[in-house]
Amino acid sequence: MKKKFYITTPIYYVNDIPHIGHAYTTVAADILARYNRLKGNDVFFLTGTDEHGQKVEKAASEKGMAPKEHADSMVENFKRIWKKLDIEYDAFIRTTDAEHKKTVQGVLQHLFEKGEIEKRLYSGWYCLPDERFWTEKEVEDGKCPDCKRPVEQISEENYFFLMSKYKERLTKHIEENPHFILPETRRNEVLGFLKSNPLGDLCISRPKQRLSWGITLPFDDNFVTYVWFDALLNYYSATIYLAPRMANNESQSTALSSDWWPADHHLIGKDILTTHAVYWSAMLMALDFPLPENIFAHGWWTINGKKMSKSVGNVVDPRKIADEFGADPFRYFLFREVPFGLDGDFSEQAMTQRYNTDLANNLGNLLSRSLTMVEKYRDGSVPHPVESKDREGLEKRIKAWFAEPQSGLPGRIDALLKNLEFHNALALLWSFINDLNEYIQHATPWKETDQETLSNLLYVLCEALRLVALMLYPFMPSTAERIWEQLHLEEYISRVEFDDAIKWGGLKPGTRINKGPALFPRIEKKNT
Ligand code: MSP
């Protein structure tokens, strides 16, 4: 049955250029979106940019530009890199979109009328770079507990979202829904935070004399909306004006009802978990909207063992890595090297190692050896398999990977992807690839004199490669396409039904192969 699948990335600040951290979440979302499209689900994959607030205003003014003009140019950097990394998002939201602003104002007005927002005089410690208030207790030696920069005492009238009253309901929701926040360590962190701290109300306005770059409050035009309140609502507002029409659904989404809501996954980095798990959840509760199915907080990348930072000058530019190694190898590395959820380290050395071992040796060689033999022994045509010729049960072992839909490779990968265990899914796929390499090693086709046995072996290899490409497609889409092209299955992805395609035997005997250049030419030396 067709299912709805709505997945989001954070919307990125336009004060920065895209780096490995942005690429990480966005590729993760792309993998899951592609996989779900492949399965025939109705997919909405949303990414975009967060364009209001102090940080962005400051970055623009430093360049002598108006904030919107600056944002327009920065947005292109993100769109360009997503294209280069083969990210197929369905929509790109910008918080400066007129429709988004309208939704934010609609929501604010609604919550104000409902008594969820209140004006108060507030004195507190304010961190300018983080754009948030801290309580006396939270401040550490006059410094922001988050970014460690000095905070200032500010006293002013502001509007507050009455978030504190949702503490118990939210705690209960997290306790009753073990998959709501993942990984589990992060879930425990949020529960610990809720249980050991009083939850305050959230200041959601900024006086215009201090900040003008934001969405004006609909009920008081002396104020703009706090950037996080505006930004978090992107996940909802996009479903109203950017989401595709759902098949078989005539109803029109409106400001306070949407077919696509709730999201299946909000993918985020661990540093923005509180804003998502606490602020956003409370906002949704106040709106009487369901909470997202899952918020997944991934870990952070260090670079050669060091924290990535502009001042150190070690920021990894995904464009450069994609130029050097290719987009697919970069995507592979990000998800094979480190379990999603844990911190990981990037180095060109580790990247080269993965490239040469897993990609050039294991996968690339498997394809080229197999197709070379089809050319040499069968004049480039996929032979007919002959069931009875499996002398040592080697073929049975390969086919067993696809014998049962649930317990076989596709079923197991499906279960792993549902848990966002990308690294385990890839490791499993590579065990299959390794099995195929061993199969060749044991069967020694170059010594085989029985023609039927040889035909069988060559069919099994070609068919297995068709299936490897299918399972690999969400992770490495252009590699999958290149494998299919060599099997003369051009544009395969657009014409297959997943449930049929995962069955053994889909490749037609007699297909003329089209052997091409090596998928991953070895990288000989890297002086890093
Ligand atoms: N605009 C907010 C998000 C609003 S979502 C409603 C924001 N933007 S950001 O541009 O700073 O994006 C940061 C994203 O990149 C976060 O998910 C953060 O965790 C991630 N990363 C930043 N550095 C990172 C690494 N070194 N490694 C992995 N991810 C990192 O926050």
Ligand 1 mean position, distance from CA 275 (Å): 12
Ligand 1 pocket, residue 24 CB under 6 Å: yes
Residue 526 has pLDDT above 60, yes or no: no
Could you tell me the two tokens for 467? 């299936």
Decide: 51 and 65 in contact? Cβ < 8 Å. no
Two structure tokens written together for 434: 């390794």
Q: How far apart are CA 425 and CA 65, in angstroms?
A: 46
Proportion of the chain in helix, strand, coil states, percent, rounded to 5: 50, 15, 35
The protein residue whose alpha carbon is closest to atom 5 in ligand 1 is 10
> Does ligand 1 come within 6 angstroms of the Cβ of 9?
no
Nearest to 517 by CA among 411, 412, 372, 396: 372
Could you identify the atom of ligand 1 that is nearest to the CA of residue 299? 28
- Measure Cα distances from 323 to 329, 382, 521 in Å: 11, 35, 14
pLDDT in the model for residue 528: 45
Q: Position of tokens 């306790």?
A: 175
Ligand 1 centre and the CA of 13: distance in Å? 8
CA distance 130 to 109: 26
10 alpha carbon – ligand 1 mean position (Å): 7
Tell me which residue has its CA closest to atom 7 in ligand 1: 12
CA angle (39, 43, 49) in 5-degree steps? 140
Q: Is the CB of 280 under 6 A from ligand 1?
A: no
Residue 11 Cβ inside 6 Å of ligand 1? The answer reads yes
| Cβ(345) – ligand 1 distance below 6 Å | no
Q: Does ligand 1 come within 6 angstroms of the Cβ of 300?
A: yes
- 329: nearest Cα among 495, 488, 137, 479: 479
Question: What is the Rg, in whole angstroms, of the alpha carbon atoms belonging to the chain?
Answer: 26
Asked if residue 13 has its Cβ within 6 Å of ligand 1, the reply is: yes
* pLDDT attached to residue 136: 85
- Please compute the mean of the pLDDT values over residues 157-184 and round it to a whole number: 97
Assign 327 a pLDDT band (cuts: 50, 70, 90). Answer: very high
pLDDT at 247: 59
Q: Which of 7, 9, 11, 12 to mutate to test the pocket of ligand 1 (most atoms within 8 A of CB)?
A: 12
* Ligand 1 centroid – CA 225 distance (Å): 21
Q: Which residues of 70-104 are buried (b: 16+ CB within 10 A; e: fewer)?
A: bbeebbebbbebbebbbbebbbbbbbbbeebbbbb
Which residues are CB-neighbours of 370 under 8 A, at least 6 positions away?
Answer: 440, 458, 461, 462, 465
Atom of ligand 1 minimally distant from the CA of 303: 26
Query: In angstroms, what is the span from residue 25 Cα to ligand 1's centroid?
Result: 9
Residue 235 Cα: closest atom of ligand 1: 6
Q: What is the pLDDT of residues 335-347, one digit of tens each?
A: 999 999 999 999 9
Total-model pTM? 0.94
Contacts of 332 (CB under 8 A, 6+ apart): 354, 358, 359, 426, 475, 476
CB 382 within 8 A of CB 458: yes
Is the C-beta atom of 104 inside 6 A of ligand 1? no
pLDDT, tens digit (0-9, with 9 covering 90-100), for 173-195:
999 999 999 999 999 999 999 99
Q: Is the CB of 12 inside a 6 Å radius of any atom of ligand 1?
A: yes
Q: What value does the mean pLDDT take over residues 226-238?
A: 97
- Region 435-443: mean pLDDT is 95
Q: Give nearest CA residue, ligand 1 atom 27.
A: 300
- 21 alpha carbon – ligand 1 mean position (Å): 6
Nearest CA to ligand 1 atom 17: 269
pLDDT of residue 255: 52
Distance 299 CA to ligand 1 centre (A): 11
**Listed residue (83, 84, 82, 56) closest to 70, CA to CA:** 56
Tell me the average pLDDT of the chain: 93
Would you state the pLDDT for residue 252? 55
Tokens of 364: 């690339």
- Given a cut of 90, is residue 404 above it in pLDDT? no
The two most distant CA atoms of the chain are separated, in Å, by 90
**Ligand 1 atom 22 nearest Cα:** 21
Question: Residue 274 C-alpha to ligand 1 middle, in angstroms?
Answer: 13
Residue pair 204/160 in contact by the 8 Å Cβ criterion: yes
